[in-house]
Chain A
Amino acid sequence: MLYIKCPHCGWRSQNEFSYGGDATVKRPELGKDISDQDWNNFVYNRKSLRGRHWELWQHLSGCRQWIKVERDTATHEIFNTLKATEEIS
């Protein structure tokens, strides 16, 4: 079970969190025209990365905040966690 540092609450076990997918995907702005290809990329197309990956988790059984977690998908090593509003550098 992973050990994740919530930027709001501190270190908590994985069973308090739920996984929320790729954190680098940006939702296209509402009301803006967008090509089919770009929309499909946003809704469906994800890279299945091996290695460092920024992903979203929600601290569901804690502060309920969505957070960004940089995790190695192969080794599970977690390098960094950020608040929802913090930009991935």
Chain B
Amino acid sequence: MTQKFRLENVGLINRNKKLSFKFNGKTYYGYEGDTLASALIANGVHLVGRSFKYHRPRGFFGAGVDEPYAIVQLYRNGETEPNIKATEQELFEGLEATSVNCWPSVNFDIGAINNFLKIFLPAGFYYKTFMWPKSFWYKIYEPFIRKAAGLGTASIKHDKERYEHKYEYCDLLIAGSGPSGLASAYAAAKNGASVILAEDKSRFGGTLLTSEVNIGNKSGKEWAEGIISELKEMPNVTVKNRSQVFGYYDHNMLVMSERISDHLPETKKFHPKQRLWYIRAKEVLISSGSIERPIVFGNNDTPGVMLSSAAKEYMKVYGVLVGRNPVIFTNNDSGYETAIEFKNNGIDPLILDTRKDPNSEIINDAKNLGIEIKNSYVVVAAKGYKKVKSADISKISDDKEQLGKIENIKCDCICVSGFWTPTIHLASQSGNKTKFNEEIDAFVPGVSKQNEKTLGAAKGIYTLQETLKDSFETGNELSKKITNSENKVSFPNVVEKKSTVHDKFWCVPLPKGKNYKRFLDFQNDVAVSDIEIALKEGYRSIEHVKRYTTLGMATDQGKTSNLNGLQLVSKIENKVVPAVGHTTFRPPYTPVSIGAIVGREVGKHSKPTRKSPMHTWHEENNAVFVDAGVWLRPRYYKQGNENLFEASKREAKNVRTNVGVCDVTTLGKIDIKGPDAAELLNRVYTNAWLKLPVGKARYGVMLREDGIVMDDGTTTRISENHYHMTTTTAQAANVLSHLEYYLQLVWPELNVNVVSSTEQWAGAAIAGPKSRDLLKKLFPNSDVSNEGLPFMGYMEGDLFGVKARIFRISFSGELAYEVNVESDYGNFMWEKIIEIGQEFKIQPYGTEALSTLRIEMGHVAGSELDGRTIPYDNSLEGLLSKKKDFIGKRSLNRDAFTSEDRQKVVGVVPLDKKTSIPEGSHLVKDANAPLPNPKLGYISASCWSVEYDNPFSLAILKDGKNMIGEKLFVMSPLKNKVIPVEIVSSHYVDPKGERVRS
């Protein structure tokens, strides 16, 4: 198919590179430098989708970021992406795209029946209709609405593309490379400031690419090219195209998405698809320009009705005609520029100007070219369903209320210009208090909250001369303050056509007896009548009107619709627009892909993975791993066809009968040094620490100020002023911050230093009746006898030439030791223990066996110290010193903490000695009591006791101390289980603790 609407010799596309692409399955051709939109228009394709609510045919309305209609589903290199604007997507060889929101096809759409039922779909329709009957919502209404609506399909496949994040700092961030962006960037760069200049499109220059101006004896485009190539050469400047600054956050932090590979058939090797920039800028210059405003008239959503500036851009940038028989409908001089461009390309346009007798240089040019102009004329309605075929036009009275006789004229496109709306999104996001400018009927930035300034058209300056002068000066002033140097550039001579004032007209009245839909919001199908209904029904706040009618709530954020919506509300309410106020602008300015937001932190990279030095050994020995915080720990070591239950039972049993070894590297470790170290411990732990001798370890419990147990662990006195503290794996970071808090803020007089040493030491727990025999062989030169190294003793040892720390501490309740060596020797230590342990039938054990061993011994751990329990609840009240104060002690006096029937940890055994008890189940007195059945407590941890070969659990039970021997029921509604149980002591095995001391 030929490109019937392609002009010869016009545009910035590369005609030497022809590209083929597919739209809705049909093959077309375009050129390198096209967007999907320009290539489709070149091929005469104007029907690209269906509207959101009424499924009316949709074409192209703009040529860039403001596009409300042309949203497609893109297919690229085996991936698919929804919500792509055809006006932004650059063409590449093999591109495929389909329409969205149409079913079964864009040409025949069942949902379009909504269009004929539209009387039933007014504002708030969904709220009113689908609320009743309630049960219908999930089953009938929602699935149907979801199928009929929606803007494409998200892929459910893993995205194989890479997305990156980048943090950057600069003196000036300049958003937009139009005349104001270029001028300010150039002036600032010349003063030596570090500058980032961001341009959303692939081409730099903004409106300079399409306007007939002359700067320093060059065309606007040539001048822009010159500035850009000079900026690119400067080491203090970063120039980025395809980069949208979409969010302005606190403290001058802006976020920009750079589309690195979206314009290529596939991403180059080692390149990301997109990159998200977090930019902290000293100063921000917003040069985001302005967006042309539509004029509201009947059926103004018909394909072929588009912004006049877009029509001009399609001609000048892409060499494409949006039609051969255009009507230009304008209230200002911009429409004339488009008309002149048509004329220059051999097309005869008709201008309908709402103004009675405007006069300016541009208008004279148009007249001199012989362009037909009708003054005080409006388009009443577009005619045609899938494309404009004609227009009903009419004269309009001076007061703009009365239409004259309606005439029908043939045309194939209607180019609309309702003047210009400054793009104030970034300024508003920054906290800038915007103000209404009567002269241009639009909001402009007002008082800045952050270091931000807006330039040029984005603040309502529409002449090039003034824009450039202001931008050069602002760039110079701001950068001068930062760099303290000035290298002022001379201001170029500017030639531009003078224009005259616009007409504030924005909405064509309905002719008598006609009920045309006059759309305000083209993406969400919000018409004038919808706003009228909302106001009739009592909605007043613009924020409420917005939500009720969905005006401006589509993915285009109402870039073309917000102001006309405000105009309408203010007209009906008889208020001025600033009194109505605009709705809040929120980031992102344009849709950002989830991939870019997430960056590299996906899948296993979503959090860091920490591995012990023995990790490889575990892997090679069939360890099945479990996440313990960010650590990977062996849960069990699989032998043959064992499952978790069988393996952990075997491992735990072997600890009880022989000896086992467990990787305990993940335990938090804090090195504490200083003359006041003992005093610190004495204040943060609940028990006494001042008299712990060198070479001894002690178990300690730490509370929060509110009396809740924060953490537990052993701390060992290595030497006079040197302690080694251990914490649970989960609380390691919090405990360190906790100690730092008290040392730095509360007791700065204490002379103590604390530092994390978790990563410096590899740890192996050696547990079981034969552990001492093994230790003797590991440390033949040390006296590790019960006398030489008693329970809670500590010594240093020599492990075949490696310095080791040996602690006689036990988590399993067996005779046990913990050996630490420097991390680099961790694997050496582990292999030696395994090798020498063979004769004692050593087996490694994982966290599951570890849990079993501690549960049946009644040792509390994370599942009991869960941030809701006090020492008493965990039977740790014996560790509360009566002689001294400590952190959290005062809170333990609270009535609830001292009540007679306070909860306490107990053991739970099923009466049948067979049924496993699910963790998290509730304990109740009567299984058949009416609901809600009073809950007496909950199961905190469960295991299969290897000592007694039956299930055993720990529970936190109300009045636990008096409940031993009681028969209760465990209820788990989740697992649908009711289990009769007996309450026993939490110390199920070796209640006197003889083994650890043996």
Query: Contact residues of A with B, CB < 8 Å?
Result: 1-3, 13, 18, 20, 27-28, 30-31, 34, 36, 39, 42-44, 56, 58, 60, 64-66, 75-76, 78, 84-85
A31 to B891, CA, bound (A): 13
**Option from A20, A42, A64, A75 in Cβ contact (under 8 Å) with B449:** A75
Segment among B246-254, B556-564, B801-809 that sits at the interface with chain A = B246-254
Q: Which chain B residue has the least Cβ–Cβ distance from A4?
A: B251
Given known A-B contacts A20-B741, A58-B737, A3 and B251 have beta carbons under 8 A apart = yes
| B250 pairs with A2, CB closer than 8 A | yes
Q: State in angstroms the CA–CA spacing of A32 and B189 once bound together.
A: 63
**Complex: how many Å from CA A16 to CA B567?**
46
Nearest CB on A from B753, distance (A) = 11
Q: Are B890 and A58 in contact (CB under 8 A)?
A: no
Contact B280 A3 (CB under 8 A): yes
Contacts A66-B744, A85-B748; is A34 near B890 (CB within 8 Å)? yes
Taking a contact as CB atoms closer than 8 A, the residue among A3, A28, A66, A75 that contacts B741 in the complex is: A66
* Set of chain B residues within 8 Å of A85, measured between Cβ atoms: 744, 748
**Other-chain residue from A3, A78, A84 in contact with B744 (beta carbon distance below 8 A):** A84
* Min CB gap A25→B, angstroms: 10
| B745: A residues at CB distance < 8 A | 56, 66, 84
Q: State the CA gap A84–B884 with chains docked (Å).
A: 27
Residue B109 interfacial (CB < 8 Å): no
Residues on A with C-beta less than 8 A from B253 are 1, 3, 13
Partner of B891, one of A1, A43, A66: A43
Chain B 883-898 near chain A by CB (<8 Å), digits 1 or 0:
0111000110100000
- Judge if B431 is at the interface, Cβ distance under 8 Å: yes
Q: Is B365 an interface residue (CB 8 A)?
A: no
B278 CB–A CB distance under 8 Å? yes
| Those 4 A-B pairs whose CB atoms lie nearest each other, nearest first | A3-B251, A84-B744, A30-B885, A31-B885
Given A30-B885, A76-B251, A18:B737 Cβ within 8 A: yes
Binary interface profile of B, 424-449, with partner A (CB < 8 Å = 1, else 0)?
00000001000000000000000001
Can you list 14 contacts pairing A with B, beta carbon distance less than 8 Å? Answer: A1-B251, A1-B253, A1-B278, A2-B251, A3-B251, A13-B167, A18-B737, A28-B890, A39-B890, A42-B705, A43-B706, A56-B745, A76-B251, A84-B748
List residues of chain A with CB within 8 A of the CB of B167: 13
Instruction: Identify B740's interface contact among A30, A42, A58, CB under 8 A.
Output: A58
Q: List chain A residues, Cβ under 8 A from B249.
A: 1
Given contacts A34-B890, A43-B891, contact A58 B741 (CB under 8 A): yes
B683 within 8 A of A: yes
CB distance from A2 to the nearest CB of B (A): 5
Q: Which residue of A lies closest to B888 (CB)?
A: A43
Tell whether A43 pairs with B740 under 8 Å between CB atoms, given A2-B251, A3-B280, A34-B890.
no
B744 and A65 contacting across the interface, CB-CB below 8 Å: yes
CA distance A18 to B738 in the complex (A): 12
Closest beta carbon of chain A to B655's beta carbon, Å: 38
Chain A nearest CB, measured from B342 CB (Å): 48
The chain A residue with its CB closest to the CB of B167 is A13
Contact of A30 among B683, B891, B893 (CB under 8 A): B683
Given known contacts A43-B705, A43-B706, A65-B744, A3 and B252 CB-to-CB distance under 8 angstroms: yes
B746 close to chain A: CB less than 8 A: yes
CA distance A44 to B250 in the complex (A): 30
Question: Would you give the shortest CB distance from A6 to chain B, in whole angstroms?
Answer: 13
* Closest residue of B by beta carbon distance from A84: B744
User: B740–A66 contact, CB under 8 A?
Assistant: yes
Known: A43-B705, A60-B737, A64-B740. 12 other contacts (CB 8 A): A3-B253, A18-B737, A34-B890, A39-B891, A42-B705, A58-B740, A66-B740, A66-B745, A75-B431, A75-B449, A78-B251, A84-B744
* Residues of A with C-beta under 8 A to B746: 27
B740 neighbours in A (Cβ, 8 Å): 58, 64-66
B600 to chain A, nearest CB (A): 15
B449: nearest residue on chain A (CB-CB)?
A: A75
Chain B 212-242 against A: per-residue CB contact (8 Å), 1 yes, 0 no? 0000000000000000000000000000000
- For window 446-480 of chain B, which residues contact chain A by CB distance below 8 Å? 449
Residues of A within 8 A of B737 (CB): 18, 58, 60
Q: How far is the CA of A75 from the CA of B594 in the complex (A)?
A: 28
Q: Which of B280, B449, B705, B748 contacts A13 (CB 8 A)?
A: B280
Instruction: Return chain A residues, CB-CB under 8 Å to B744.
Output: 65-66, 84-85
| Docked complex Cα distance between A27 and B891 (Å) | 13
The answer for the CA separation of A65 and B744 in the assembled complex, in Å, is: 7
- Nearest chain A CB to B244's CB is how many angstroms away? 19
A78: chain B residues at CB < 8 Å are 251
Q: Please, which residue of chain B has its CB at the minimum distance from the CB of A18?
A: B737
List chain B residues, Cβ under 8 A from A30: 683, 885-886
Given the complex of chains A and B, what is the CA–CA distance between A13 and B748 in angstroms? 27
CB-CB under 8 A from B706, the residues of chain A are 43-44
What 0/1 pattern do residues 87 to 130 of B give for CB contact below 8 A with A?
00000000000000000000000000000000000000000000
Q: Mark B278-310, 1 if CB is under 8 A from A, else 0.
A: 101000000000000000000000000000000
Question: Residues of B contacting A65 with CB < 8 Å?
Answer: 740, 744
Residues in B722-779 with C-beta less than 8 Å from chain A:
737, 740-741, 744-746, 748
Asked if residues A76 and B890 are in contact (CB atoms below 8 Å), the reply is no
Question: Which A residues are in CB contact (< 8 Å) with B886?
Answer: 30
The CA-CA distance from A20 to B744 in the complex, in Å, is: 13
Tell me how far the C-beta of B709 lies from the nearest C-beta in chain A, rounded to whole angstroms: 15
For B748, what are the chain A residues with a Cβ–Cβ distance below 8 Å?
84-85
Task: Name the residue in B167, B253, B706, B886 with the highest tally of chain A Cβ atoms < 10 Å from its Cβ.
Answer: B253
Report how far A3 CA is from B893 CA in the complex, Å: 42
Q: How far is the CB of B36 from chain A (nearest CB, A)?
A: 35
Residues of B within 8 A of A66 (CB): 740-741, 744-745
CB-CB under 8 A from A31, the residues of chain B are 884-885
Complex Cα spacing A44 to B737, Å: 20
- State the CA gap A58–B745 with chains docked (Å): 11
Q: How far is the CA of A47 from the CA of B737 in the complex (A)?
A: 24
Q: Which residue of A lies closest to B278 (CB)?
A: A1
Whether B741 contacts A1 by the Cβ 8 Å rule is: no
User: Given the complex of chains A and B, what is the CA–CA distance between A55 and B705 in angstroms?
Assistant: 18
In the complex, chain A residues whose CB is within 8 Å of the CB of B741: 20, 58, 66
A28 vs B449: C-alpha distance when bound (angstroms)? 40
Residues of A within 8 A of B278 (CB): 1
Q: CA A2 – CA B683 in complex, angstroms?
A: 35
Which partner residue on chain B sits nearest A3 by CB separation?
B251
Cα A65 to Cα B743 with chains together (Å): 10
The CA of A64 and the CA of B746, in the complex, are separated in Å by 16
Query: How far is B705's CA from A43's CA once the two chains are assembled, in angstroms?
Result: 7
Interface centre among A13, A28, A85, by most chain B C-beta atoms within 10 angstroms, is: A13
Docked CA distance A20–B734 (Å):
12
Docked CA distance A65–B706 (Å): 24
Q: In the assembled complex, which residues on chain A have CB atoms less than 8 Å from the CB atom of B884?
A: 31
Q: Which of B861-890 contact A (CB under 8 A)?
A: 884-886, 890
Query: How far, in Å, is A43 (CB) from chain B's closest CB?
Result: 5
Q: How far is the CA of A31 from the CA of B889 in the complex (A)?
A: 10
Question: How far apart are the CA atoms of A27 and B741 in the complex, in Å?
Answer: 11
In the assembly, what is the distance between CA of A2 and CA of B449, in Å?
14
A64 to chain B, nearest CB (A): 6
Q: Specify the chain B residue showing the minimal Cβ separation from A21.
A: B741
- State the CA gap A39–B250 with chains docked (Å): 36
Bound CA span A85–B744, Å? 7
Q: A13 contacts which chain B residues (CB < 8 A)?
A: 167, 253, 280
B250 CB contacts on chain A under 8 angstroms: 1-3, 76
Q: Chain A's nearest CB lies how many Å from the CB of B532?
A: 37
CB distance from B299 to the nearest CB of A (A): 46
What CA separation (Å) do A85 and B741 show in the bound complex?
A: 12
Chain A residues, Cβ within 8 Å of B890: 28, 34, 39
B252: A residues at CB distance < 8 A:
3
A56 vs B738: C-alpha distance when bound (angstroms): 13
Chain B residue with the shortest CB-CB distance to A11:
B280
Q: Which residues of B contact A75 (CB under 8 A)?
A: 431, 449
Residue of A nearest to B741 (CB): A66
